[in-house]
């Protein structure tokens, strides 16, 4: 029985990968244009409010993917109609809007919103109506308890354990591996979750955590925090930052004439940190970058180029595709594969298909049969080198000639 | 136990950060105290100024000080224009709260439409310069901000107390009818004061562009703490606003140095409650 199931699963995996690769690689001219009644796909994004910086990236990626999929064969041969609403970065608004999308707008399918709190709010509504919900940014996988909710980003079921170890493995290759560290984090839930994991894993591996500090998300002044970091003078500084918090912290440190020896930043605004005079050799989390070997993945180069054009047109200061944009692309790739694979818009059938098959995404091949519907963790580390982000760890994902540089 | 160096550095950082709170609070305090208008759009005007300084600096390579020379008069005009609306629609204190909130939201959307919601950071050579005094570092930009804020606060305080216009404004705020009987044209003076308040937002915006993060939603970041500063510093008192800003800034910073940094946001309101309960004579 196990063997038969194994064979069945292998076939499913191969079918999913082959299907995904063909869909991504084939030129759109060879495919039939979708026709008939549109398939309505509803979602909210934080188009305004404190999360709006990321939503603008998600919106561009989403609109690009809707055009991409419609340029192929749509969903089941029908064009997609994307119904996007603004949840204003508020979970309570997300909850009401998903209710509206399902009951008033009568969407056929939904996509998840951005960030853990709005996702949790929307997930409750999705569960009530049995809708499949694919999301790309819930950094705390254990909270994804709804069996038809699927992650589009390969965090793995326990990123608070796996990712700190990826970082510690990378640091262990330094000529002088860090013996002490400071963990500094925003109280933004997913950042705080990862910070606690970093502290625990570092201590388990014998790295002394000199300071563990939490600050409120949106902290205005890093002067005193910088003074504490300087006084602790750790071998390694881990920052659970969002947006421009890393830039502000590094500037505050420089005002004190202090440069951290080695420093890692969790979710910074990638452009400003890479271009900052203080950003050189900064380490950061990622899953994919517009560089080799990732550009060799089917269709990724085209998507990265297209994103760049659209981001420039939208007047974004940093136009390279990043993990946020890739997360949204992956959401649509999974939805497309799920619907076309199941041959149905029925949520139960789509969920069942996703649990049994792998999907080829910008992140590589993803599976959804593990705890909380997560598959393998695929976190990578990138580093600012010459004002540009380069994947440096694990080594097999580094572009030719690129190496992790210790400070 | 934190070292003396850490405490001293935290105190310096806090006082200097409080200079921005004070600078933002000054215009708000003047319009609330002397015109009885609570101008929530003050924060949006400051950020609009910051975005313009960013735009001029990043895309046209205009030095921030030259940008300020253009932005501040423009903000004065916007402030005076805004007062025309208050006057035209006979807006009262509560009405001003609603009207300026709407104005702030419109400005936020306009900023987002033009500059997008993405983060903006104006990188300048000034951002990380510091003076070293003993074991302490004093950021030059933050120090400049405090000197400018101090000069404006002191100058405005003197202007309100020593000049006819200042005295007339204070008299009109106390009792508009009696002041009018003495020939005070409160309406005209109100335009001037509204313009000055908005111009101060322009000055604050110039420094925000240089030291802080720009994103449309950041408009609301300073709202709570600056309101606490305005109330602690007493309405219509620019010197009080600056000193209260520095008090709050120092308290927040010391909390970050001694306790957990996560405690700092509650410090401003804790200080406000303590001072309201205490109600010291000297304040």
A220 contact residues in B (CB cutoff 8 A): 17, 212, 221-222, 225
> How large is the average pLDDT for residues B172-192?
87
Q: Which residue of A has its CA nearest to B15?
A: A223
**Inter-chain touch B14–A224, beta carbons under 8 Å:** yes
* Same-domain pairing of A305 and A234: no
Q: Which residue has the tokens 């997360």?
A: A327
* Same-domain pairing of A116 and A177: no
Whole-angstrom Cα distance, residue B206 to residue B212? 10
* Same-domain pairing of A279 and A333: no
State yes or no: ipTM above 0.90.
Answer: no
B120 contact residues in A (CB cutoff 8 A): 317
Contact A404, A383 (CB under 8 A): yes
Predicted pLDDT of residue B263: 86
Contact B51, B107 (CB under 8 A): no
Predicted pLDDT of residue A327: 95
Q: Which residue has the tokens 């608070």?
A: A160
B253 contact residues in A (CB cutoff 8 A): 221, 223-224
Whole-angstrom Cα distance, residue B238 to residue B31? 11
Predicted pLDDT of residue B282: 65
Asked if A314 has any chain B CB less than 8 Å from its own CB, the reply is yes
CB count in 10 Å sphere of residue A391: 24
Whether residue A405 is contained in a domain is answered as no
Whole-angstrom Cα distance, residue A396 to residue A91? 39
B213: Cα within 13 Å, side-chain hemisphere: 31
Contact B105, B219 (CB under 8 A): no
CA A190 remoteness from chain centre: 12
Peptide bond into A293 cis (omega under 30): yes
* DSSP code of residue A142: G
Work out the burial of residue B134: count CB atoms within 10 Å of its CB; fewer than 13 is exposed, 13-18 middle, 19 or more buried. Answer: exposed
**Inter-chain touch A247–B121, beta carbons under 8 Å:** yes
CA B120 remoteness from chain centre: 21
The enclosing H or E element of B203 equals: helix B186-211
- The distance of B4 to chain A (nearest Cα, Å) reads 11
- The distance of B264 to chain A (nearest Cα, Å) reads 8
A322 contact residues in B (CB cutoff 8 A): none
Whole-angstrom Cα distance, residue B160 to residue B157? 5
Predicted pLDDT of residue B199: 97
* Same-domain pairing of A46 and A18: yes
**Inter-chain touch A243–B215, beta carbons under 8 Å:** yes
Q: Is the pLDDT assigned to residue B281 strictly greater than 80? A: no
- The distance of B112 to chain A (nearest Cα, Å) reads 8
Predicted pLDDT of residue B227: 93
Whole-angstrom Cα distance, residue A100 to residue A114? 18
Pairing of strands A133-135, A149-151: parallel
Whole-angstrom Cα distance, residue A360 to residue A297? 9
pLDDT per residue over B130-146, tens digit each?
999 999 999 999 999 99
Predicted pLDDT of residue B128: 79
Q: Is the pLDDT assigned to residue B119 strictly greater than 70? A: yes
Predicted pLDDT of residue A316: 86
Contact A239, A260 (CB under 8 A): no
Q: Which residue of A has its CA nearest to B135?
A: A256
Average pLDDT value over all residues in chain B: 92
A231, A243, A257: residue with CB nearest B137: A257
Whether residue A166 is contained in a domain is answered as yes
**Inter-chain touch B117–A52, beta carbons under 8 Å:** yes
Q: Which residues of B54-81 are buried (b: 16+ CB within 10 A; e: fewer)?
A: bbbbbeeebebeebbeebbebbbebbbe
Strands of A283-286's sheet in order across: A208-215, A180-186, A236-243, A263-268, A283-286, A380-385, A388-393
| Contacts with B, A 123-162, CB within 8 Å | none
**Inter-chain touch A52–B112, beta carbons under 8 Å:** yes
Asked if A212 has any chain B CB less than 8 Å from its own CB, the reply is no
Task: List phi, psi (to 5°) of A103.
Answer: -95, -30
How many degrees, rounded to 5, is the angle at CA A283 between CA B264 and CA A259?
A: 60
B114, B254, B256: residue with CB nearest A225: B256
Predicted pLDDT of residue B283: 64
* DSSP code of residue A340: H
* DSSP code of residue B135: T
pLDDT per residue over B8-62, tens digit each?
999 999 999 999 999 999 999 999 999 899 999 999 999 999 999 999 999 999 9
* Same-domain pairing of A268 and A333: no
Q: Which residue has the tokens 């960013």?
A: B54
Whether residue A266 is contained in a domain is answered as yes
The number of folded domains in chain A is: 2
Q: Please tell me the pTM assigned to this model.
A: 0.86
Cβ neighbors of A271 (< 8 A, separation 6 or more) are: A317, A318, A320
Q: How confident is the model at residue B182 (pLDDT cuts 50, 70, 90)?
A: confident
How many degrees, rounded to 5, is the angle at CA A316 between CA A314 and CA A320?
A: 110
Determine the structural domain holding residue A87 and report its residue range.
Answer: 2-154+292-376
Predicted pLDDT of residue A13: 46
- The distance of B249 to chain A (nearest Cα, Å) reads 9
The enclosing H or E element of A236 equals: strand A236-243
Reading chain A (407 residues) residue by residue, the pLDDT tens digits are 344 444 444 444 444 444 444 444 444 444 567 889 999 999 999 998 888 888 889 999 999 999 999 998 899 999 999 999 999 989 999 999 999 999 999 999 999 999 888 999 999 999 999 999 999 999 899 999 999 999 999 999 999 999 999 999 999 999 999 999 999 999 998 999 999 999 999 999 999 999 999 998 878 889 999 999 999 999 999 999 988 899 999 999 999 999 999 999 999 888 888 988 889 999 999 999 999 999 998 899 999 999 999 999 998 888 999 888 999 999 999 999 999 999 999 999 999 999 999 999 999 999 999 999 999 999 999 999 998 999 999 999 999 899 999 97
A88: Cα within 13 Å, side-chain hemisphere: 9
A213 contact residues in B (CB cutoff 8 A): 260-261
Q: Domain B4-278 belongs to what architecture?
A: Orthogonal Bundle (1.10)
Q: Which residue of A has its CA nearest to B2?
A: A228
**Inter-chain touch A247–B213, beta carbons under 8 Å:** yes
Q: In this structure, what CATH number is given to the domain that contains residue A203?
A: 3.40.50.2300
- The distance of A119 to chain B (nearest Cα, Å) reads 20
B116, B216, B217: residue with CB nearest A314: B116
**Inter-chain touch B123–A275, beta carbons under 8 Å:** yes
Asked if A256 has any chain B CB less than 8 Å from its own CB, the reply is yes
Whether residue A407 is contained in a domain is answered as no
Whole-angstrom Cα distance, residue A311 to residue A295? 18
**Inter-chain touch B213–A248, beta carbons under 8 Å:** yes
How many Cβ contacts (< 8 angstroms) between chains A and B?
A: 136
B23 contact residues in A (CB cutoff 8 A): none
* Same-domain pairing of A145 and A191: no
Contact A47, A59 (CB under 8 A): yes
Q: Where are the domains of chain B?
A: 4-278
| Range with lowest mean pLDDT among A130-144, A180-194, B192-206, B258-272 | B258-272
Whether residue A23 is contained in a domain is answered as yes
Asked if A55 has any chain B CB less than 8 Å from its own CB, the reply is yes
**Inter-chain touch B112–A48, beta carbons under 8 Å:** yes
* Same-domain pairing of A104 and A207: no
Contact B57, B209 (CB under 8 A): yes
B16 contact residues in A (CB cutoff 8 A): 223
pLDDT per residue over A19-64, tens digit each?
444 444 444 444 567 889 999 999 999 998 888 888 889 999 999 9
CA A182 remoteness from chain centre: 25
Reference A353, options A7, A9, A5, A3; nearest CA is A9
Cβ neighbors of A167 (< 8 A, separation 6 or more) are: A198, A238, A264, A283, A381
The enclosing H or E element of B33 equals: helix B4-35
* Same-domain pairing of A191 and A323: no
């Amino acid at each position: 029985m196990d063997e038969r199931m194994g064979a069945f699963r292998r076939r499913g995996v191969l079918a999913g990968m082959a299907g995904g690769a063909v869909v991504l690689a084939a030129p759109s001219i060879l495919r039939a244009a979708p026709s008939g009644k549109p398939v309505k796909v509803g979602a909210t994004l934080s188009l305004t409010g404190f999360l709006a910086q990321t939503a603008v990236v998600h919106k561009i990626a989403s609109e690009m993917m809707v055009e991409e999929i419609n340029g192929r064969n749509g969903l089941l041969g029908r064009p997609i109609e994307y119904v996007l609403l603004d949840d204003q970065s508020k979970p309570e608004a997300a909850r009401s809007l998903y209710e509206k999308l399902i009951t008033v707008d009568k969407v056929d399918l939904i996509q998840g919103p951005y960030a853990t709190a709005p996702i949790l709010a929307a997930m409750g509504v999705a569960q009530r109506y049995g809708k499949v919900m694919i999301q790309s940014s819930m950094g705390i996988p254990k909270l994804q308890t709804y069996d038809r909710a699927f992650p589009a980003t390969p965090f793995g079921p326990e990123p608070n354990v796996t990712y700190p170890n990826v970082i510690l493995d990378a640091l262990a290759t330094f000529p002088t591996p860090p013996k002490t560290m400071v963990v500094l984090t925003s109280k933004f839930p997913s950042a705080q979750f990862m910070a606690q994991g970093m502290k625990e894993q570092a201590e388990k591996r014998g790295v002394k955590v000199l300071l563990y500090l939490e600050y409120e998300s949106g902290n205005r002044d890093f002067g005193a925090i910088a003074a504490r970091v300087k006084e602790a003078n750790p071998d390694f500084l881990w920052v659970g930052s969002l947006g421009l918090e890393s830039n502000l912290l590094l500037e505050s440190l420089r005002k004190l004439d202090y440069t951290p020896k080695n420093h890692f930043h969790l979710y910074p605004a990638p452009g400003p940190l890479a271009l900052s005079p203080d950003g050189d050799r900064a380490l950061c989390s990622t899953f994919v970058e517009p560089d080799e070997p990732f550009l060799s993945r089917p269709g990724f180069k085209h998507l990265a180029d297209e994103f760049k054009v659209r981001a420039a047109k939208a007047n974004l200061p940093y136009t390279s595709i990043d993990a946020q944009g890739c997360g949204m692309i992956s959401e649509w790739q999974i939805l497309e594969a799920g619907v076309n694979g199941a041959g149905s818009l029925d949520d139960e059938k789509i969920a069942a298909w996703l649990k049994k098959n792998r999907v080829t995404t910008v992140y590589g091949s993803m599976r959804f049969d593990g705890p909380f519907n997560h598959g393998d963790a695929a976190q990578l580390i990138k580093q600012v080198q010459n004002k540009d982000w380069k994947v440096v760890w694990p080594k097999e994902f580094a572009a030719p000639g690129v190496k992790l540089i210790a400070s | 136990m934190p070292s003396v160096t850490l405490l001293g550095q935290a105190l310096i950082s806090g006082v200097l950060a409080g200079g921005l709170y004070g600078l933002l609070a000054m215009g708000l305090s003047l319009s609330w105290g002397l015109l009885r208008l609570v101008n929530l759009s003050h924060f949006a005007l400051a950020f609009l100024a910051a975005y313009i300084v960013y735009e001029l600096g990043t895309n046209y390579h205009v030095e921030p000080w030259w940008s300020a020379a253009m932005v501040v008069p423009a903000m004065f005009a916007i402030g005076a224009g805004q007062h025309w609306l208050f006057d035209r629609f006979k807006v009262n204190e509560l009405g001003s709260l609603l009207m300026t909130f709407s104005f702030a939201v419109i400005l936020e959307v306009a900023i987002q439409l033009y500059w997008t919601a993405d983060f903006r950071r104006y990188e300048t050579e000034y951002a990380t310069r510091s003076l070293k005094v003993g074991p302490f570092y004093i950021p030059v930009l933050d120090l400049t901000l405090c000197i400018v804020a101090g000069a404006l606060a002191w100058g405005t305080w003197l202007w309100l107390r020593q000049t006819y216009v200042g005295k007339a404004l204070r008299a009109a705020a106390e009792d508009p009818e009696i002041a009018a009987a003495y020939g005070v044209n409160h309406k005209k003076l109100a335009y001037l004061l509204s313009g000055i308040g908005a111009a101060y937002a322009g000055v604050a915006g110039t420094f925000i562009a240089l030291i802080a993060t720009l994103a449309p939603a950041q408009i609301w970041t300073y709202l709570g703490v600056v309101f606490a500063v305005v109330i602690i510093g007493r309405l219509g008192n620019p010197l009080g606003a600056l000193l209260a800003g520095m008090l709050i800034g120092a308290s927040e910073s010391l909390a970050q140095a001694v306790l957990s940094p996560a405690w700092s946001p509650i410090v401003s309101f804790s200080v406000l409650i303590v001072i309201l309960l205490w109600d010291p004579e000297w304040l």
